[in-house]
Structure 1
Amino acid sequence: MRINVNDREYAVEVDGNPSLLEVLREQLDLTGTKYGCGEAACGACKVLINGTPTPSCITPATAAQGKNIITIEGLEKEGELHPVQKVLMEEDVFQCSYCAPGMILTAVALLENRQQLSEQEIIEGMNGNICRCCTYPKIVSALSKITHKDKA
């Protein structure tokens, strides 16, 4: 089977119906996507599939065929971090960073078509991503800086 990941075409084996997460980590060596709960409840494994945050732990690899998949490794362009990555680093948001890939990709999708978001909209949009270090207030604050940068 062939899949498109981070704007690159790959041939992968799908014997035994592996999850997209397994294929990304074990066959493509894209280990930024993390295994968390295995039940799509924590968000650590989220990738963007056609721009939508999707839990790769429960998504069969075969379901990704013909779709555009973006992992955390695919956000950097020409040596530049994505604005979401930049603000979260500048604000020193994460502690252990295990949740960071899923959080970042969810935030990228949330902010893709919205220039202005309230804190409540950010909270609701980030729902489904668990941070065991409980840095939620810092995450919301940092993302608010992106959505309100034109008002400053």
Structure 2
Amino acid sequence: MRERVFGQGRDNMIRRTARILEIIQQIAGAPGRWSRQKLAEYHEVSERMIQKDLELIRHRLGLELRHENGTYFFQRLPRVPTTVYPLSEALALLMAARAAQAIPGVNSAELAAAIARLESIFPPSLEHLVQEAIDELPRRAVKGHRQTMLTLLH
């Protein structure tokens, strides 16, 4: 995905990568809803840039992106394999996901679903302790809360 375009800096590449990932999420979350024009308006780029992004998704990433009646959908998306986490890693992931809720620009519905799945892997005997730790996390990312967040994550 490291396509080099003349005059495009690192920031533009990061923004493009983020846009491509978001386009994949948008199309996967609402198949048949997103047209090239709607995507261009939403991301505030040209339809030509969206077309390049869609081609990258289809050809370089190998996702089965289809176009029908002016909108896009995925024929099939790859499944992520099930993973087993040690308790410490699962707790760190849950805390990081909860902390991400304080960051603007993160898709809140998908993040909430991911958090619910993460919370469900903890044994019932730990639910109360996990919830207590999560409740202590600050709700906003403010400079003064960084130490609190780091302490809780540790």
TM-score (norm 1): 0.26
Whichever of the two has the greater Rg, that structure is: 2
Q: Which has the larger helix fraction?
A: 2
Q: Which has the larger strand fraction?
A: 1
TM-score (norm 2): 0.26
Higher relative contact order (CA 8 A, sep 6+): 1
